[in-house]
Each structure stands twice: as structure tokens, then as C-alpha cells.
């Protein structure tokens, strides 16, 4: 019950306050309306009075407001003109902005088209790059295969023609050396008052016999069924044959040749009755083995004739016809004990100057002179190098160690 009474009292009080507030609001509104209507009426009356006084003042030229209003009118005209100029300027700016907008839209479209084309070009470039890379790999592999095939073909060609070309080259070199030696001999002969016909003519009976013997030996080697023919170029055995003419040269063989051959691994000596091949007659010359290298040991002051025939000169000619390389070692020469540092032989030996083949071999650095053994390092080195080059031989480990130590 108490709660209901309190609620009703609260409602009554609230209604009372609401009524009071409404009355106050209505009173305020009415007051405002009355004040507004009075202000408007007074304002209109004042404005009418001002207009009337102003009009009367303006009609009078002495009115102080006349200058003010005229100046005010001029300023209003200036303001109107400035406003019009600003309006035209705004229109111009608007048109320019519109034009720039249009140009921007057009440029944007062209740029979009250009970007799309660049993207297409990028895609095409990537595809072309891939194709070029693929072609490059193919070309590189093809070039490698072609180069390998070319190398194989060239190696095979060289391997096939080398045995035939090398003797031909050696023959050409020997011909050139012979021509140079002959020319030098001719120059010396002309100085001594001899003519070219005198030089070509056989010097003595020994030279006549040498030439006859060469023809005879070549004829026998070509026609005799018991003697093997001169081999074709390129099929000589890769061996060495040591040729002696006198047994007194065996110490030179032992001290020089045998000692040098022991420095190699795989040097083969021609299969003869002895480690050396002794030539004592014409029959021995006919049995010369067909090898790539001949080491001829002769005597510096000895006689190499048999029955009036110079076996040394004939043997050298036959060996040259075979296409072999010839090394001549002249032994028992006292003048070779102390040779100059880069000399291979004693230049005063009559044996070298008396035989054309010896002069040719000396020109090609294939002649050595010793007393009993080689005392010059230059001689030993060149002798070793010649054997190694001709026979393609390998030095043994002990020799390589000694050469490195030197």
C-alpha cells in the first residue's frame, strides 16, 4: 500500500512541475514575439526615415554624403569588374583543368596500352631467351662433338702420314745441307782457282770407285734375290745399329756409345752377331740392317779402304739412301781432349773435310770427335738428345736424377 501511495504522490509532483514548465515556456515565447515585432516596426520606421534623409541629401549637391556614395559606387563597379574577371579566369582555369583531365585520360590510356605492349614484349623476350639458351647449348654440344671428331681425324691423319713425311723431311733437310756444303766447297774451290766443272768432276780414283760402288750396291740391293731391297720410306725399324770399321775402335764404343745407351730404358740394338756391326768388306756393306739410327765409329787417322774402296764413304751414302739418321763418332783424336765449350768436333780433322757426307753431317751437328770418351758436357747432352729424338726413347730414373742434380 505504501509503495502505491508513494508512486501516486511522485506522479502528482511530476505533473505539477511539468505544468509549471509549460506555462513558463509559453510566457517566454510570447515575450519574444512581442519584442521582435516592436524591433521590426522601429527598424522600418528608422529605415524609412534614413532613406528619406539620404534621398534628400543626395538630391542636394552640397551634401557631404554625395562624394562618399559616388566613391562607393565606383568601388562597387571595380569590385563588379574584378568579380567578372575572376569569374572569367575561373572559367579559363576550369577549361584548362578539363583539357588537362582529357589529356591525362588520353595519356593514361596510351600508357596502359604501352605497358601492355611492353609486357607482351617481355614475355616474347623471355621466350626468345629460352630458345637462344637452348640453341646455345645445342651449338656448344655440337661444337664440342665436332672439335673432338676433328681432333680424332687429325690425329689419325698425322699418325698415318707421319712415317712417310718424316723421312721425306729429313731427306729435304739433308739435300739442303748438301747444297749448302757444296756451295761452301765451291766458294772455297773458286778462290783456289778451280771451276765448277772441276768441282763436279771426280777428284781421284777413290771418288770414282765410290760412285761406281754406290751404283753397284744399289743395283745388287734392287736385283739380287739374296739381299733385301732398300725399304720404302717409313718402315725402318725403331732400332740403333753401331757400325765399326776397326777393332781398335771398340774402346770408343764401350766408353761412349754403350755408356750412353745404358741411360735409356727401351733402346733396341739391331740384331747382329755382336752388339756392334763390323764393316770390313763390300759384303758387309750389302748386309747393313734397315734401322732408323746408325752410330758410326771411325778412326781419325786410320784408313777405311779395302781393295782401294773407301768403305766409310760408301757406307755413309748407303745409310743415307735408306733414309736413316747417321751419327758419326771420330775416335783416337788427341785434338778433341780440350774442345771449345760449344764445339762437337775438332774442326781441323782432315777426315771431315775430305768426304762430302761428313761435311753434311757436321753441318747438321751429327759429327762428334773424341779421344777415348766424351769430355764435354755439350757433346754428351747433344748426343743424348739426338738419340732420344730419333728413337723416341725414355731416360731411366738414375739418368733423370743426375740431370736434375746438374
At 346-360, the pLDDT tens digits run 888 888 888 888 888
Res 16: pLDDT: 73
Judge residue 321's burial from the number of C-beta atoms within 10 Å of its C-beta, 0-12 exposed, 13-18 middle, 19 or more buried.
Answer: middle
Res 115: pLDDT: 93
Say if pTM beats, i.e. exceeds, 0.85. no
Q: Cα 97–99–100 angle (5° rounding)?
A: 65
Cα distance from N-terminal residue to C-terminal residue, the chain: 142
Tell me which CATH code domain 202-405 carries. Answer: 3.40.50
Residue 57 has pLDDT above 60, yes or no: no
Q: Where in the chain are the domains?
A: 72-165, 202-405
Strand partners, 406: none
* Structure confidence at residue 300 as a pLDDT band (50, 70, 90): confident
Q: b vs e for 121-131, b when ≥16 Cβ sit within 10 Å of the residue's Cβ?
A: eeeeeeeeeee
Share of the chain above pLDDT 70, in %: 70
Assess contact for 230 and 221: CB atoms under 8 A: yes
Residue 379 has pLDDT above 80, yes or no: yes
Question: What is the C-alpha to C-alpha distance for residues 406 and 402, in angstroms, rounded to an integer?
Answer: 6
Question: What is the C-alpha to C-alpha distance for residues 37 and 240, in angstroms, rounded to an integer?
Answer: 153
At 396-406, the pLDDT tens digits run 766 665 665 55
* Structure confidence at residue 114 as a pLDDT band (50, 70, 90): very high
Question: What is the C-alpha to C-alpha distance for residues 156 and 396, in angstroms, rounded to an integer?
Answer: 30
Residue 146: count of CB within 10 angstroms of its CB: 11
**Tally of helices (H runs) and strands (E runs) in the chain:** 12, 7
Amino acid at each position: 500500500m505504501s509503495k502505491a501511495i508513494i508512486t501516486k504522490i511522485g506522479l502528482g509532483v511530476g505533473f505539477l512541475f511539468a505544468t509549471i514548465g509549460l506555462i513558463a515556456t509559453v510566457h517566454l515565447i510570447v515575450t519574444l514575439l512581442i519584442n521582435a515585432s516592436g524591433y521590426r516596426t522601429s527598424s522600418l520606421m528608422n529605415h524609412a526615415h534614413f532613406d528619406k534623409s539620404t534621398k534628400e541629401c543626395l538630391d542636394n549637391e552640397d551634401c557631404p554624403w554625395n562624394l562618399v556614395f559616388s566613391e562607393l559606387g565606383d568601388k562597387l563597379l571595380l569590385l563588379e569588374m574584378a568579380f567578372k574577371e575572376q569569374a572569367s579566369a575561373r572559367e579559363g582555369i576550369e577549361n584548362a583543368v578539363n583539357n588537362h583531365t582529357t589529356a591525362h585520360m588520353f595519356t593514361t590510356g596510351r600508357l596502359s596500352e604501352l605497358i601492355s605492349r611492353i609486357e607482351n614484349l617481355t614475355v616474347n623476350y623471355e621466350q626468345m631467351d629460352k630458345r637462344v639458351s637452348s640453341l646455345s647449348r645445342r651449338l656448344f654440344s655440337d661444337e664440342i662433338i665436332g672439335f673432338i671428331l676433328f681432333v680424332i681425324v687429325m690425329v689419325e691423319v698425322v699418325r698415318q702420314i707421319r712415317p712417310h713425311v718424316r723421312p721425306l723431311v729429313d731427306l729435304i733437310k739433308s739435300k739442303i745441307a748438301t747444297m749448302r756444303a757444296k756451295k761452301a766447297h765451291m766458294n772455297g774451290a773458286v778462290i783456289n782457282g778451280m771451276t765448277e766443272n772441276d768441282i763436279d768432276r771426280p777428284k781421284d780414283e777413290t771418288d770414282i770407285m765410290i760412285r761406281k760402288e754406290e751404283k753397284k750396291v744399289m743395283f745388287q740391293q734392287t736385283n739380287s734375290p739374296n739381299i733385301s731391297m732398300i725399304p720404302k720410306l717409313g718402315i725402318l725399324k725403331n732400332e740403333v745399329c753401331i757400325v765399326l770399321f776397326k777393332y781398335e775402335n771398340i774402346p770408343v764404343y764401350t766408353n761412349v756409345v754403350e755408356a750412353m745407351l745404358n741411360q735409356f730404358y727401351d733402346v733396341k740394338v739391331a740384331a747382329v752377331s755382336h752388339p756392334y756391326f763390323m764393316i770390313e768388306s763390300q759384303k758387309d756393306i750389302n748386309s747393313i740392317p734397315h734401322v732408323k739410327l746408325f752410330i758410326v765409329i771411325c778412326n781419325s787417322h786410320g784408313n777405311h779402304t779395302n781393295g782401294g774402296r773407301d768403305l766409310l764413304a760408301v757406307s755413309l751414302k748407303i745409310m743415307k739412301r735408306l733414309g736413316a739418321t747417321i751419327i758419326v763418332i771420330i775416335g783416337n783424336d788427341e785434338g778433341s781432349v780440350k774442345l771449345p765449350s760449344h764445339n762437337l768436333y775438332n774442326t781441323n780433322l782432315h777426315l771431315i773435310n775430305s768426304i762430302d757426307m761428313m761435311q753434311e753431317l757436321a753441318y747438321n751437328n751429327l759429327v762428334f770427335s773424341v779421344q777415348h770418351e766424351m769430355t764435354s758436357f755439350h757433346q754428351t747432352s747433344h748426343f743424348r738428345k739426338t738419340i732420344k729424338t730419333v728413337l723416341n726413347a725414355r731416360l731411366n730414373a738414375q739418368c733423370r736424377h743426375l740431370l736434375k742434380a746438374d
